């Protein structure tokens, strides 16, 4: 499966607030970092996602652009819009790193 397909699968699971699917996609030592959160390890990252999901009604990730790191095919950059409750729009850049087993090992998100 291509990294792009995996990224789409991740954004779909996030939009659908599917913790079970996200858990399957994360490595045990996954790291999630954004402008408010630093979570390390699958348990902390899952708890951070659960907290996000509990704080919103709906989420929708709209992808603007996607590109691979030319020096590392396991890293993908995505410019996205996260629409919260059909009202609030966050413009974000996600940098997603995969391991050799196609599990997500790190997500770093930046507001844009």
Note whether 74 and 97 are within 8 A (CB): yes
Output the pTM of the full model.
0.94
Task: Tally DSSP H helices, then E strands, for the chain.
Answer: 3, 6
96: closest CA among 43, 22, 44, 18?
22
- Torsion sign (Cα): 5, 60, 80, 103: negative
Residue range 21-75, pLDDT digits in tens: 999 999 999 999 999 999 999 999 999 999 999 999 999 999 999 999 889 989 9
Q: Which residue has the tokens 């691979």?
A: 68
Number of domains in the chain: 1
Domain assignment of residue 76, given as a range:
3-111
The Cα 17–Cα 49 span in angstroms is: 8
CATH number at residue 83: 3.10.450.50
């Amino acid at each position: 499966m291509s990294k792009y397909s995996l990224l789409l699968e991740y954004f779909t699971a996030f939009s659908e607030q599917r913790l079970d699917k996200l858990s399957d996609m994360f490595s045990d030592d996954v790291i999630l970092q954004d402008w408010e959160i630093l979570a390390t390890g699958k348990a902390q990252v899952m708890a951070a996602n659960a907290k996000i999901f509990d704080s919103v009604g709906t989420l929708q990730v709209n992808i603007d652009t996607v590109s691979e790191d030319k020096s590392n095919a396991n890293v993908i950059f995505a410019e996205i819009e996260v629409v919260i409750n059909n009202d609030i729009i966050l413009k974000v850049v996600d940098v997603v790193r995969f391991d050799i087993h196609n599990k997500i090992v790190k997500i770093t998100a930046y507001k844009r």
